[in-house]
């Protein structure tokens, strides 16, 4: 609704990185000073299937070639493709199913430290190996889950970064390359090449040549591990090791902390999840945090050069290298001022209104509290840079409102002190406040809607009590 150009991008599993590449090129050619690449996915239940039945499936030729090389089973077709590629690698180079198990074990272990990961459970090698079998050597814990999610990346020119004093946050896209299926994908009768080995290698070789970098210069990697077999194959396609060397790389621990590279510190697609349109941008976000030193307990030591790999069968792959744009500014104090927690509820415009809300809850004659049983959090920021925190607990009785309460909220609202009065008194619709950015919601969106219903229902009561209080003061 602003008139700016917007492009819808669909490139199977490499959609997010394709959008990022388009944003980069818009800025690079001078069409834009600042661009936003955003990706999202709300997936259907179960394994990937065909959505459009009125056109040729983009993987029709891939499946046709696979059917000529191996028997097609009733298991999910994409899992079959990567399982068969893994089996071909084992036959060709002597790798074992145990190597695939170790890759999944590593990624699940990494995910424990990632608050954005869909799953954060650590498993033993035996648990992974004995989890339900999906196809060939692949078990359930070696496969990415069905995921909903979103991610976004802002791409800006160097002049934009400097004019907004963002040097300390700026990550440079040192290079980005895309490749698509090659004649060898179909002509050379290789299951490895059918799932993108050749196009990944082509894109990676171009990237290293154009940037003057080598794979050995990289410290941290986010690569497309939709299945553990794909991570194994991709080590070699990205030149992290020579052809046939992936098993040895895994055995040496050169894919995790303390080794040559840290691959998928986020937990990878296997744990972090694979919301298809968002994945490439989520990879970029993780690598940016790593380069800035903002990755917390999963921080890769001395991360200076980061490599990304995002592939979609059908087929397209994007690879990219990242480094800090202004490394000398990494620790400079240009970040936004942090909000300090308030020690008292005094000094907040909202405080007397919350007291009135508590009174309205206690006098509740319409049974509104009963309809909205939950624990809600309210963070309010005043113009002094202080943040007050209240717990609104309606789980028992008429409920209570407590400043700095210890109960854990299921949903928390974040709002400025100057805006909350209009919200509490019904002068502004909650949905409008949310979409205008005046209210941020953390946690259960369903419960957030319940509280806004309570606010709307109780607005007249709050207004009447407020008038009563004002009259008594006069």
Active site residues: 13
> Measuring CA to CA, which residue among 217, 202, 209 is closest to residue 175?
209
DSSP string, 91-123: HHH---HHHHHHHHHHHHHHHTT-TT-S-----
> Measuring CA to CA, which residue among 186, 183, 181 is closest to residue 196?
181
Instruction: Please tell me the distance from the alpha carbon of residue 157 to that of residue 26, in angstroms, as a whole number.
Output: 10
Let me know if 14 is exposed, middle or buried by CB neighbors in 10 A (0-12, 13-18, 19+).
Answer: buried
Report how far apart, in Å, the C-alpha atoms of 49 and of each of 58, 62, 71, 82, 416 are.
12, 15, 19, 16, 45
Instruction: Please tell me the distance from the alpha carbon of residue 244 to that of residue 260, in angstroms, as a whole number.
Output: 17
Token code pair at residue 187: 């002509």
Q: Where would I find the H helices in 125-168?
A: 125-129, 158-163
Q: Are 167 and 45 in contact (CB under 8 A)?
A: no
Q: Are 244 and 237 in contact (CB under 8 A)?
A: no
Local structure of 408: helix, strand or coil: coil
Token code pair at residue 17: 């990185």
Instruction: Please tell me the distance from the alpha carbon of residue 136 to that of residue 120, in angstroms, as a whole number.
Output: 25
Other beta carbons within 10 Å of 181 = 20
């Amino acid at each position: 609704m602003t008139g700016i150009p917007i492009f819808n991008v669909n490139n199977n599993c490499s959609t997010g990185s394709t959008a990022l590449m388009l944003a980069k090129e818009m800025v690079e050619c001078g069409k834009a000073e600042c661009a936003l690449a955003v990706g999202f996915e709300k997936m259907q239940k179960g394994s990937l299937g065909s959505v459009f039945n009125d056109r040729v499936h983009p993987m029709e030729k891939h499946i046709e070639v696979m059917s000529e090389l191996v028997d097609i089973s009733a298991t999910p077709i994409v899992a079959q493709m990567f399982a068969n590629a893994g089996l071909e690698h084992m036959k060709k180079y002597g790798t074992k199913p145990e190597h695939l198990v170790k890759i999944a074990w590593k990624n699940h272990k990494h995910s424990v430290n990632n608050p954005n990961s869909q799953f954060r459970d650590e498993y033993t090698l035996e648990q992974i190996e004995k989890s339900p079998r999906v196809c060939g050597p692949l078990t359930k814990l070696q496969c990415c889950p069905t995921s909903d999610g979103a991610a976004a990346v802002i791409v800006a020119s160097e002049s934009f970064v400097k004019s907004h004093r963002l040097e300390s946050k700026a990550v440079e896209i040192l290079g980005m390359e895309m490749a698509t299926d090659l004649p060898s994908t179909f002509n050379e009768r290789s299951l490895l090449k059918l799932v993108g080995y050749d196009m990944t290698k082509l894109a990676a070789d171009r990237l290293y040549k154009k940037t003057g970098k080598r794979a050995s210069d990289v410290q941290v990697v986010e690569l497309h591990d939709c299945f553990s077999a794909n991570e194994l194959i991709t080590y070699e396609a990205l030149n992290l090791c020579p052809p046939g060397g992936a098993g040895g790389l895994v055995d040496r621990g050169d894919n995790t902390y303390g080794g040559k590279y840290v691959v998928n510190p986020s937990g990878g697609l296997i744990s972090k999840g694979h919301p298809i349109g968002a994945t490439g941008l989520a990879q970029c976000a993780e690598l940016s945090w790593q380069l800035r030193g903002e990755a917390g307990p999963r921080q890769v030591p001395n991360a200076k050069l980061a490599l990304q790999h995002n592939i979609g069968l059908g087929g397209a792959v994007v690879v990219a290298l990242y480094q800090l744009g202004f490394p000398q500014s990494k620790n400079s104090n240009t970040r936004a001022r942090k909000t300090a927690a308030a020690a008292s509820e005094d000094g907040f415009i909202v405080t007397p209104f919350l007291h009135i809300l508590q009174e309205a809850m206690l006098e509740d004659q319409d049974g509104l509290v009963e309809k909205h049983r939950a624990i809600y959090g309210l963070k309010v920021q005043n113009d002094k840079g202080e943040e007050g925190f209240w717990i609104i607990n309606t789980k028992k009785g008429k409920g209570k409102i407590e400043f700095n309460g210890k109960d854990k909220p299921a949903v928390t609202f974040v709002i400025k002190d100057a805006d909350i009065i209009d919200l509490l008194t019904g002068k502004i619709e909650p949905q409008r406040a949310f979409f205008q950015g005046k209210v941020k919601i953390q946690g259960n969106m369903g419960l957030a809607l319940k509280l806004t219903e309570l606010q709307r229902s109780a607005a007249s009561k709050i207004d009447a009590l407020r008038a009563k209080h004002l009259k008594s003061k006069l």
